[in-house]
């Protein structure tokens, strides 16, 4: 320590230590950050309990502009009795005062002591903030701080630097002009009040009265009679306070016509001579308050003579002024130039008001005498001479000031300076913003082909960046950057402050000049809108602050970044790479950062991204934040509101003309983070909405709109500041806000909004305004409806649809900011308190929100900024919002859903196959309708359970807290409906499977019955033959046995009255159906049918488009059509019809194939179903637009039924063969023969028969068992394989297919992909399955697995049936089949042969079976092994390729323009969408005039002003923007990144010629830069579009 420990210092130290417990802040000073941090206390009603709470109480209340901040009252818990306190309060304030003064004041502190101590413990920036806020509260400010930490007292100049005051001197009253100036720079007369000796009345109280405007008393100075004002000062003696009077331009009521400063020295001048001397030098007049003057005092006073300062004496009346005093006065009179008017007596009877008046007129008199005017800055000089310290006279502050001056000294004309020295943010940046927007909106495309135009714009963008980059740093900017980069932290902050003060000062001068001009012009010329617009522009150009310098830095950074990205510069050459880190540091210190540059309405995205990313890193990744925004008309106190709420420093001034949005971080204290769920609050202040100065500028409305949408989208809470004085502007704002909210609702972001009605002070406001609130809601509803209409939303909407709005809770009435008339008005206590209440509510609300959403961290916030901004730039907001957070959440859900879906399907497949097995095992007579109903009921129970399981999964998923679920809330319904859809699908699947199984089983009944008659006959004959042969003497040898048997067989067959099954003529039956179907189609059709050949001669393989398929008479009648156009539409219809035919053929053929594999007999419903399928397609609306002729219909039906007729005929014949009793009997012949032979030889046939059972019954049943299950197992295997991701959702599958295509890079594959998408996908899947299982091993494992399950079950059954009462083989087998009736279909007729004359013991039989199992297993597996994979697949009950197709194919709809398939993840969805669209040429679009393929990409087209025409529009042009009129179920997102379609651009340029040939067109004329796209870039764009970072 350099100074000796003076008495004052010691006292101060002790005070701070013992009373305030602030010692730790003596070396590490309190910082603004410490005070602003959000703690639990900042949202609790918190009253100080002990003296150590007092500094915090003061700081918090002061930051909230609370007039009670200076109170040092403690909550007296000691009394413990609540009612007592209440009583006291009710008794009135007097009682209370006595209470305080009478009792011990030891734990009371004098407010001035607290103030001094706090200042002592604060760093110079916090001091500045404290004084600024005190000034708003109209508290007197400390001018000279007593010598507490320094040898002498300190002049607080720096601490007042930030204060700006506005007033209207009487000289400007006429013109209604005003002055606005930095307080410390304003020169004005200063009047000082000091005390000599003791004095019994309060000087401060008197001063308050002198300064208070009439009718309104305000306590500028703390005085005796105020709460705690009487507590003896411990450290604040010697403090000089200063306060001001500023006139408001009201000649009648203003006390003084010009500003005047009043200082007040605490303590006796004798003990504070230094302060007193200072005051005598800077003041125009000094009022000395005293009771008497003694010898010593006289001596002191006489030393004052010689200055031109006027002296006044105020004598108190307590004791009549003594003779001695009067004597001294007389002696002093000549030296101090006293006369009678300089001595003011305050007699006992003097009326207080009159006395104050006297004083005021004395002061007025002084002001008239042209007194000296000194600014506080100038006082520093005097202080210097007297050895008084000045707070800003330290090296750091001075150096920073010089640094700032280096920049600011060159600024004279702001507009000019900005134009010449801040060049990057000028025209170029504006142009950049426009080009970026044009890229999204394509307004000025003209005749240039779309993609070419886009390429041009891209080039222009780069050009502009190059231009920016080529600018050298100006001197000013270089200084600014080094200032930020190289100055030590504290100096840097001084530097920024100095910049602000200097710039504000310059801008104020500029603006005031402009305003004068404006006024002049107003007087002279009536109204020349042109000129006013000019002036408005100039005014808006004349604002200049640190933010403009920061903005410029941002632009340099952006330009450099672009150069590196374009490869025009090496990463290592970057000079600005360190800037984001610096800016991040500033943000950490609470410096507001520009988010949107409102002048050009653009975001420096790279800059903002990198700054915030740096910030995120500096915070160690802990950057969760809640976002709070305020919106409202310009100059309605938005910034003031935020500043009051959080103690911030957003720029406040009615004169500012900036626009845009600034963000500022407030830290949440460690002990509050958990409760609040975030680490920071990000506050966004908006500027310039509906600013009158800006209203006339071009694009103003749109800029406002963009700004509002963006900030609303980013916020968790939006405060809408309502100022009803500006009703029309307010309405506009509300409209903008409603639009913004509507859009947010659309994307799943349900924001909260609080309406703050300012300037409503009545206590009854809330009650009184009930009607107003209702009215507001009506208005909001009205606006919502209108907005919904504008956004083309179909449904009726009200305001509460777009947000949680509570009429009562979300409206706030806040009294006017000022209590009284500015400039002398302090902040209203009510204002501060109401704002505090609002703040408390907001925090409660935010805590409540935690359940629904987790606060975004910086990377997530940035993602929102990026995607919202993209969407805003595409003005068609709703259609363009694509956010990777949303996409990722949706994708995750899709993956999950796909799993649940497959689980459900698999379950039902298994269930159905068990029931089928069961049915096949039933004797036909048992299969009455009851069986079906019973099974259907069971199915329904199962379906219900399973589908509920999916819905449960869905609910659980939405409650699981997975990321960003609230964003996809609206898709939940899609998935719910998908689950129901799936249930229905599986219901009809299982029902029809059951019915079918029963029908098939019943169909076998007739033949079965005949067969059993035959069998009985044969068995009878075998029996007889056996007897007959046994009776013969000689033994028959093997040949003879067989011969005998053969003869018997032939004879018996001859005896049977054979009724072969009737063979039907399926093709004729079908032809008849067809004729009936086409009956009403007219004679031409009839004639065609007459001429038709027999059905089986037709085959779909011969399908070829013919001219007569299209009925183009309509085109002929349209005269306006030039032939090229006609040609084009003919082509379009032609291709669409062809595609229709192909898909129908595919669909029908696969139906036919499926039926033909069912092993059932043909049923006429099959033919009817085919015709229904065709008719359904042909009746669809869009098909009707194709102008298809009847000829097409007839031909198509003939071809399809032709294929079907052949297939069904064959199927029917096979059925007859399979089921012909005679045939079936024939198959049993070998078994009968072997039975006959062993019976004849009396061999022990048990072993043979057991083997026969295994071979004839179990083997086919086991093969069947495996085939029924293998399909689902294969699907499972694929879905859990290493490639499972590719098949997990529709969009992953798309990605997989496209990637594979690119890898192959074969024109043919792409052509097939475009030619027939469904077919292509099916083939792909088929190929994949085949390839995967071509090597037997992997499939063999699956088979073995299935097999081992059934074998072990079989063994169980065998084990459990031995030893039971089953004596005979027959009862054993009955039991055996019964146990396995759900698993194995045992062929009955073979079984019967085995039972024929079977006398073996059951135990023995079963033992043999068990013994044969390994052999059986070997045989079955070897049958599988020897099968080719293709034929294996064809036998499966569930075809894996079909199941997978269902899983990944999606809805199969294709974009109406480019034919890219829909990849929505929910199976049922309201709108189709695709991640990437492609050049429309790939969808066959070509130009009429040139026949060249179109290179435009739909996602660009829908954002452009172009039009399209197609068959659907009947050839009329229609704007792309409104494509949803014709294709309402499609949502085409405008291209969100320039590179998203690179994949298809690449493909198109690679195979331009092949596509052209395929589509009978000429190759497209592609933009040059497409040729530069590499395969790697194509792949990268695919990755970007489909897989998420
Ligand atoms: N009379 C009055 N003036 C206010 C009130 N709120 C703010 N102001 C003043 O209006 C001016 C503009 O305030 P500011 O917060 O910058 O408004 P913003 O443009 O909406 O951010 C400032 O000079 C404020 O002091 C109020 O409730 N009543
Ligand atoms: Mg503002
Ligand atoms: Zn498309
Ligand atoms: Zn779809």
**Looking at the predicted structure, is the pLDDT value of residue 1434 above 90?**
no
Tens-place pLDDT, residues 455-501? 889 899 999 999 999 999 999 999 999 999 899 999 999 999 999 99
Q: Which of 1180, 1157, 1160, 1176 is nearest to 1168 (CA)?
A: 1176
Q: Closest ligand 1 atom to the C-alpha of 822?
A: 1
Strands lying side by side in the sheet with 593-597: 593-597, 660-667, 680-687, 625-632, 717-722, 752-758, 811-814
Expressed in angstroms and rounded, the spacing between residue 1203 Cα and the centre of ligand 4 is 31
At 144 the pLDDT is: 95
Three-state DSSP state, 667: strand
CA distance 1133 to 1185: 8
Average pLDDT over residues 74-83: 53
**Looking at the predicted structure, is the pLDDT value of residue 387 above 50?**
yes
CA distance 1256 to 1228: 10
**Looking at the predicted structure, is the pLDDT value of residue 697 above 80?**
no
At 345 the pLDDT is: 81
Distances (CA, A) of 154 to 28, 119, 377: 20, 11, 14
CA distance 137 to 1468: 62
What residues does 1401 pair with on adjacent strands?
1368
**Looking at the predicted structure, is the pLDDT value of residue 728 above 50?**
yes
Q: Closest ligand 1 atom to the C-alpha of 721?
A: 20
Mutate to test the pocket of ligand 1, among 598, 640, 655 (most ligand atoms within 8 A of CB): 640
At 1394 the pLDDT is: 80
At 285 the pLDDT is: 94
Tens-place pLDDT, residues 1269-1326? 999 999 999 888 877 888 888 888 888 899 999 999 999 999 988 888 888 888 889 8
- 117, 16 Cβ separation under 8 angstroms: yes
CA distance 958 to 972: 8
Of the pLDDT bands very low, low, confident and very high (cuts 50, 70, 90), residue 244 is very high
Q: Which of 359, 195, 322 is nearest to 271 (CA)?
A: 195
* More confident position, 1537 or 517: 517
CA distance 144 to 275: 8
CA distance 1517 to 1502: 14
Under DSSP, the state recorded for 923 is: -
At 243 the pLDDT is: 96
What residues does 754 pair with on adjacent strands?
719
**Looking at the predicted structure, is the pLDDT value of residue 1403 above 90?**
no
Which H or E element spans position 848?
Answer: helix 829-849
CA distance 274 to 293: 20
Three-state DSSP state, 1500: helix
At 1256 the pLDDT is: 85
Mutate to test the pocket of ligand 1, among 635, 650, 730 (most ligand atoms within 8 A of CB): 635
Give first-to-last CA distance, the chain, whole Å. Answer: 58
At 125 the pLDDT is: 95
CA distance 480 to 400: 11
Q: Residue whose CA is closest, atom 26 of ligand 1?
A: 817
Instruction: Annotate 603-635 with three-state secondary structure.
Output: CCHHHHHHHHHHHHHHCCCCCCEEEEEEEECCC
- 863, 747 Cβ separation under 8 angstroms: no
Expressed in angstroms and rounded, the spacing between residue 651 Cα and the centre of ligand 2 is 6
Strands lying side by side in the sheet with 190-196: 343-345, 310-315, 285-290, 190-196, 260-268, 240-245, 141-145, 154-155, 389-390
Of the pLDDT bands very low, low, confident and very high (cuts 50, 70, 90), residue 78 is very low
**Looking at the predicted structure, is the pLDDT value of residue 1243 above 90?**
no
Distances (CA, A) of 1369 to 1246, 1397, 1403: 10, 10, 8
Instruction: Annotate 81-116 with three-state secondary structure.
Output: CHHHHHHHHHHCHHHHHHHHHHCCCCCCCCHHHHHH
Distances (CA, A) of 634 to 488, 723, 724, 774, 1077: 37, 10, 13, 25, 73
Of the pLDDT bands very low, low, confident and very high (cuts 50, 70, 90), residue 788 is confident
Whole-model pTM: value is: 0.76
Q: Residue whose CA is closest, atom 8 of ligand 1?
A: 637
At 1140 the pLDDT is: 86
Average pLDDT over residues 718-744: 78
Average pLDDT over residues 772-783: 83
CA distance 1447 to 196: 97
Locate all alpha helices (DSSP H) within 1362-1387, ordered by sequence: 1369-1379
Tens-place pLDDT, residues 1356-1378? 888 887 666 667 888 888 888 88
Under DSSP, the state recorded for 473 is: P
DSSP codes joined into one string, 285-326: EEEEEES---HHHHHHHHTTTTSS-EEEEEE-SSSPPPHHHH
Of the pLDDT bands very low, low, confident and very high (cuts 50, 70, 90), residue 526 is low
Q: Closest ligand 1 atom to the C-alpha of 641?
A: 15
- 1517, 1509 Cβ separation under 8 angstroms: yes
- 625, 855 Cβ separation under 8 angstroms: yes
Q: Residue whose CA is closest, atom 7 of ligand 1?
A: 637
At 399 the pLDDT is: 94
* Burial category of 1333 from C-beta neighbours within 10 Å (exposed 0-12, middle 13-18, buried 19 and up): buried
Phi first, then psi: what are they for 627, rounded to 5°?
Answer: -115, 130
Expressed in angstroms and rounded, the spacing between residue 492 Cα and the centre of ligand 2 is 25
Q: Where are the extended beta strands (E) located within 538-616?
A: 593-597
Expressed in angstroms and rounded, the spacing between residue 789 Cα and the centre of ligand 4 is 25
CA distance 36 to 646: 7
Of the pLDDT bands very low, low, confident and very high (cuts 50, 70, 90), residue 1232 is confident
Expressed in angstroms and rounded, the spacing between residue 1576 Cα and the centre of ligand 2 is 49
Q: Which of 1384, 1389, 1374 is nearest to 1416 (CA)?
A: 1384
At 618 the pLDDT is: 95
Other beta carbons within 10 angstroms of residue 502's beta carbon come to: 19
Q: Closest ligand 1 atom to the C-alpha of 831?
A: 27
Expressed in angstroms and rounded, the spacing between residue 1442 Cα and the centre of ligand 1 is 69
At 549 the pLDDT is: 94
Q: What radius of gyration, in Å, describes the C-alpha atoms of the chain?
A: 48
Q: Which of 713, 702, 893 is nearest to 802 (CA)?
A: 713
- 623, 615 Cβ separation under 8 angstroms: yes
Expressed in angstroms and rounded, the spacing between residue 832 Cα and the centre of ligand 1 is 14
**Looking at the predicted structure, is the pLDDT value of residue 1127 above 80?**
no
Helices (H) and strands (E) in the chain, counts: 62, 20
Three-state DSSP state, 1538: coil
Tens-place pLDDT, residues 1011-1040? 888 888 888 888 888 888 888 777 778 888
CA distance 392 to 761: 41
**Looking at the predicted structure, is the pLDDT value of residue 436 above 80?**
yes
Q: Residue whose CA is closest, atom 10 of ligand 1?
A: 637
**Looking at the predicted structure, is the pLDDT value of residue 398 above 90?**
yes
CA distance 1091 to 1191: 13
Expressed in angstroms and rounded, the spacing between residue 203 Cα and the centre of ligand 3 is 83
Mutate to test the pocket of ligand 1, among 167, 652, 704 (most ligand atoms within 8 A of CB): 652
**Looking at the predicted structure, is the pLDDT value of residue 94 above 50?**
no
Which residues have CB atoms below 5 A from the ion given as ligand 4? 1451, 1453, 1462, 1464, 1472
CA distance 1037 to 1014: 28
Tens-place pLDDT, residues 304-325? 887 889 999 988 765 566 788 8
- 619, 679 Cβ separation under 8 angstroms: yes
574-579-584 Cα angle (round to 5): 145
At 877 the pLDDT is: 56
Residues having CB within 6 Å of any atom of ligand 1: 632, 634-640, 652-654, 758-759, 816-818
Of the pLDDT bands very low, low, confident and very high (cuts 50, 70, 90), residue 76 is low
Alpha carbon dihedral 1337, 1339, 1344, 1349, in 10-degree steps, equals 150
- 1530, 1516 Cβ separation under 8 angstroms: no
At 96 the pLDDT is: 43
Distances (CA, A) of 1165 to 981, 1070, 1144, 1227, 1377: 25, 10, 18, 32, 34
At 694 the pLDDT is: 58
Of the pLDDT bands very low, low, confident and very high (cuts 50, 70, 90), residue 1181 is low
Task: Answer positive or negative: Cα dihedral of 1580, 1581, 1583, 1584.
Answer: positive
Between 29-38, 555-564, 998-1007, 1093-1102, the lowest mean confidence (pLDDT) is in 998-1007
CA distance 63 to 647: 5
Task: Answer positive or negative: Cα dihedral of 919, 923, 924, 929.
Answer: negative
CA distance 240 to 203: 13
218-222, 917-921, 971-975, 995-999, range with greatest mean pLDDT: 218-222
Ligand nearest to the CA of 1469: 4
Other beta carbons within 10 angstroms of residue 1382's beta carbon come to: 13
Expressed in angstroms and rounded, the spacing between residue 1563 Cα and the centre of ligand 3 is 19
Q: Residue whose CA is closest, atom 6 of ligand 1?
A: 637
Phi first, then psi: what are they for 1386, rounded to 5°?
Answer: -90, 120
Ligand nearest to the CA of 719: 1
- CB neighbour list of residue 38: distance below 8 Å, 6 or more residues apart: 646, 666, 667, 668, 669, 672, 676, 681, 843
Q: Closest ligand 1 atom to the C-alpha of 759?
A: 27
Q: Closest ligand 1 atom to the C-alpha of 633?
A: 20
Instruction: Annotate 10-58 with three-state secondary structure.
Output: HHHHHHHHHHHCCCHHHHCCECHHHHHCECHHHHCCCCCCCHHHHHHHH
């Amino acid at each position: 320590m350099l100074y000796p420990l003076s008495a004052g210092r010691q006292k101060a130290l002790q005070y701070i230590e013992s009373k305030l417990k602030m010692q730790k802040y003596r070396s590490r000073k309190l910082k603004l950050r410490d005070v602003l941090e959000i703690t639990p206390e900042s949202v609790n009603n918190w009253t100080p309990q002990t003296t150590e709470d007092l500094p915090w109480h003061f700081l918090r209340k002061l930051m909230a502009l609370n007039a009670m901040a200076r109170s040092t009252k403690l909550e007296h818990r000691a009394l413990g009795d609540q009612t007592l306190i209440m009583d006291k309060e009710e008794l009135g304030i007097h009682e209370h005062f006595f209470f305080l003064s009478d009792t011990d004041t030891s734990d009371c502190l004098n407010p001035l002591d607290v103030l001094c101590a706090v200042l002592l413990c604060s760093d110079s920036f916090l001091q500045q903030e404290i004084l600024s806020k005190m000034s708003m509260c109209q508290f007197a400010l400390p001018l000279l701080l007593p010598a507490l930490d320094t040898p002498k007292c300190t002049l607080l100049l720096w601490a007042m630097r930030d204060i700006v005051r506005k007033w209207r001197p009487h000289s400007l009253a006429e013109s209604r002009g005003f002055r606005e100036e930095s307080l410390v720079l304003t020169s004005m007369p200063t009047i000082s009040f000091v005390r000599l000796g003791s004095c019994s009345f309060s000087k401060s109280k008197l001063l308050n009265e002198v300064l208070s405007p009439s009718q309104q008393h305000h306590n500028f100075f703390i005085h005796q009679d105020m709460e705690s004002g009487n507590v003896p000062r411990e450290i604040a003696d010697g403090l000089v306070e200063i306060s001001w009077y500023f006139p408001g331009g009201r000649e009648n009521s203003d006390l003084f016509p010009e500003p005047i400063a009043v200082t007040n020295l605490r303590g006796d001048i004798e003990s504070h001579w230094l302060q007193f001397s200072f005051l005598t030098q800077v003041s125009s007049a000094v009022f000395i308050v005293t009771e008497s003057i003694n010898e010593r005092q006289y001596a002191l006073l006489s030393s004052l003579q010689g200055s031109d300062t006027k002296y006044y004496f105020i004598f108190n009346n307590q004791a009549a002024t003594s003779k001695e005093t009067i004597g001294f006065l007389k002696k002093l009179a000549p030296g101090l130039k006293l006369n009678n008017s300089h001595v003011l007596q305050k007699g006992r009877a003097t009326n207080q008001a009159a006395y104050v008046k006297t004083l005021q007129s004395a002061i007025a008199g002084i002001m008239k005498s042209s007194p000296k005017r000194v600014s506080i800055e100038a006082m520093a000089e005097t202080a210097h001479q007297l050895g008084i310290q000045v707070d800003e006279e330290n090296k750091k502050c001075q150096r920073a000031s010089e640094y700032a001056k280096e920049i600011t000294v060159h600024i004279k004309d702001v507009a000019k300076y900005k134009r010449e020295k801040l060049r990057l943010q000028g025209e170029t940046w504006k142009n950049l913003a426009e080009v970026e927007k044009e890229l999204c909106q394509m307004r000025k495309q003209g005749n240039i082909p779309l993609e070419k135009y886009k390429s041009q714009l891209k080039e222009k963008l780069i050009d502009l960046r190059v231009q920016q980059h080529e600018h050298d740093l100006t001197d000013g900017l270089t200084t600014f950057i080094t200032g930020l980069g190289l100055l030590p932290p504290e100096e840097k902050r001084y530097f920024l402050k100095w910049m602000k003060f200097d710039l504000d000062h310059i801008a104020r001068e500029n603006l005031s000049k402009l305003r004068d001009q404006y006024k002049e012009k107003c007087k002279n010329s009536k109204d020349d809108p042109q000129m006013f617009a000019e002036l408005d522009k100039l005014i808006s150009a004349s604002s200049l602050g640190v933010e403009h310098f920061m903005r410029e830095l941002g632009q340099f950074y952006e330009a450099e970044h672009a150069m590196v990205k374009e490869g025009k510069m090496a990463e290592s050459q970057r000079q600005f790479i360190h800037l984001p880190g610096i800016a991040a540091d500033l943000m950490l210190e609470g410096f507001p950062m520009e988010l949107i540059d409102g002048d050009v309405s653009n975001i420096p995205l790279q800059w903002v991204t990198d700054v915030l990313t740096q910030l995120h890193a500096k915070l160690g990744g802990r950057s969760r934040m809640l976002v709070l925004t305020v919106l409202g008309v310009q100059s309605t106190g938005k910034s003031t509101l935020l500043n009051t709420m959080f103690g911030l420093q957003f720029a406040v001034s009615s004169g500012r003309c900036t626009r845009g949005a600034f963000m500022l971080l407030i830290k949440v204290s460690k002990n509050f983070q958990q409760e609040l769920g975030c680490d920071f609050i990000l506050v966004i202040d908006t500027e310039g909405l509906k600013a009158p100065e800006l209203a006339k500028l071009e694009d103003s409305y749109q800029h406002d709109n963009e700004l509002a949408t963006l900030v609303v989208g980013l916020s968790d809470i939006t405060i809408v500041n309502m100022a009803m004085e500006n009703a029309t502007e307010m309405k506009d704002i509300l409209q903008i806000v409603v639009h913004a909210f509507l859009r947010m609702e659309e994307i799943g972001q349900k924001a909260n909004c609080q309406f703050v009605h300012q300037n409503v002070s009545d206590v009854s406001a809330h009650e009184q305004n009930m009607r107003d609130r209702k009215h507001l809601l009506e208005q909001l509803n009205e606006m919502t409806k209108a907005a919904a209409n504008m956004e083309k939303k179909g449904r009726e909407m009200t305001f509460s649809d777009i947000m949680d709005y509570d009429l009562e809770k979300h409206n706030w009435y806040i009294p006017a900011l000022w209590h009284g008339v500015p400039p002398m008005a302090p902040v209203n206590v009510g204002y501060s308190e109401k704002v505090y209440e609002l703040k408390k509510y907001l925090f409660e609300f935010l805590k409540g929100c935690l359940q629904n959403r987790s606060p975004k961290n910086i990377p997530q916030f940035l993602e929102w900024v990026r995607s919202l901004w993209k969407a805003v730039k595409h003005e068609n907001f709703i259609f363009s919002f694509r956010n990777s957070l949303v996409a990722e959440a949706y994708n995750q859900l899709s993956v999950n859903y796909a799993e649940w879906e497959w689980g459900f399907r698999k379950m039902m497949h298994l269930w159905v196959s068990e029931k089928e097995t069961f049915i096949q095992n039933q004797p036909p007579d048992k299969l009455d309708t009851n069986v079906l109903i019973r099974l259907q009921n069971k199915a329904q129970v199962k379906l219900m359970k399973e589908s509920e399981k999916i819905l449960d999964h869905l609910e659980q998923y939405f409650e699981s807290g997975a990321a960003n679920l609230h964003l996809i809330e609206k898709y939940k319904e899609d998935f719910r409906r998908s689950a129901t859809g799936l249930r229905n699908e599986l219901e009809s699947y299982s029902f029809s499977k059951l019915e079918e199984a029963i029908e098939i089983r019943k169909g076998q009944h007739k033949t079965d019955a005949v067969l059993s008659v035959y069998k009985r006959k044969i068995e009878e004959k075998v029996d007889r033959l056996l007897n007959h042969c046994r009776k013969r003497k000689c033994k028959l040898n093997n040949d003879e046995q067989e011969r005998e048997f053969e003869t018997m067989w032939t004879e018996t067959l001859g005896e049977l009255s054979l009724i072969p099954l009737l063979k039907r003529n399926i093709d004729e039956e079908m032809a008849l159906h067809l004729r009936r179907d086409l009956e009403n189609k007219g004679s031409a059709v009839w004639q065609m049918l007459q001429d038709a050949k027999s059905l089986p001669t037709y085959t779909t393989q011969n399908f070829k488009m013919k001219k007569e398929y299209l009925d183009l008479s309509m085109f002929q009648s349209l005269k306006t059509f030039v032939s090229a156009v006609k040609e084009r539409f003919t082509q379009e219809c032609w291709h669409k019809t062809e595609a229709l035919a192909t898909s129908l053929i595919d669909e029908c053929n696969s139906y036919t194939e499926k039926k033909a594999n069912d092993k059932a007999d043909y049923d006429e419903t099959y033919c009817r179903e085919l015709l229904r399928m065709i008719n359904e397609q042909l009746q669809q609306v869009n098909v009707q637009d194709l102008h298809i002729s009847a000829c097409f219909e007839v031909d198509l039906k003939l071809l399809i039924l032709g294929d079907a007729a052949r297939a069904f005929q064959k199927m029917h014949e096979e059925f007859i063969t399979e089921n012909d009793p005679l045939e079936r009997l024939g198959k049993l012949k070998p078994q009968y023969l072997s039975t006959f032979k062993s019976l004849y030889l009396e061999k022990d046939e048990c072993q043979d028969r057991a083997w026969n059972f295994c071979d004839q019954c179990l083997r086919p049943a086991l093969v069947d068992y495996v085939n029924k299950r293998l399909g689902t197992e294969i699907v499972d295997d694929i879905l859990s394989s290493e490639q499972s991701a590719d098949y997990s959702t529709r969009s992953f599958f798309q990605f997989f297919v496209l990637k594979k295509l690119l890898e192959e890079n074969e024109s043919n594959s792409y052509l097939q992909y475009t030619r027939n998408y469904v077919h292509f996908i099916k083939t792909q899947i088929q190929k994949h399955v085949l390839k995967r299982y071509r090597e037997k091993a992997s499939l063999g494992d699956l088979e073995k697995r299935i097999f081992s399950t059934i074998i072990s079950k079989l063994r169980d059954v065998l084990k459990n049936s031995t030893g039971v009462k089953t004596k005979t083989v027959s009862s054993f087998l009955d039991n055996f089949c019964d146990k396995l009736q759900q698993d194995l279909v045992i062929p009955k007729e073979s079984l019967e042969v085995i039972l024929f004359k079977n006398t073996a013991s059951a135990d023995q039989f079963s033992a043999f079976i068990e013994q044969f199992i390994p052999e059986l297993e070997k045989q079955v597996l070897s049958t599988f092994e020897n099968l080719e994979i293709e034929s294996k697949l064809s036998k499966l009950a569930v075809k894996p390729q079909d199941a997978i197709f269902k899983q990944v194919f999606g809805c199969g709809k294709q974009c109406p323009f480019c034919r890219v398939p829909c990849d929505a993840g929910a199976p049922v969805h309201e709108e189709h969408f695709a991640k990437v669209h492609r050049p429309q040429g790939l969808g066959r679009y070509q130009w009429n005039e040139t026949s060249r393929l179109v290179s435009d990409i739909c996602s660009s087209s829908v954002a452009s002003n172009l039009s399209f025409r197609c068959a659907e529009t009947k050839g009329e042009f229609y704007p792309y923007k409104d494509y949803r009129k014709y294709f309402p179920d499609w949502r085409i997102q405008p291209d969100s990144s320039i590179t998203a379609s690179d994949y298809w651009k690449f493909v198109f340029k690679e195979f331009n010629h092949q596509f052209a040939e395929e589509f009978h067109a000429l190759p497209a004329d592609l933009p040059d830069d497409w040729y530069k796209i590499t395969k790697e870039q194509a792949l990268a764009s695919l990755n970007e579009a489909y897989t998420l970072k």
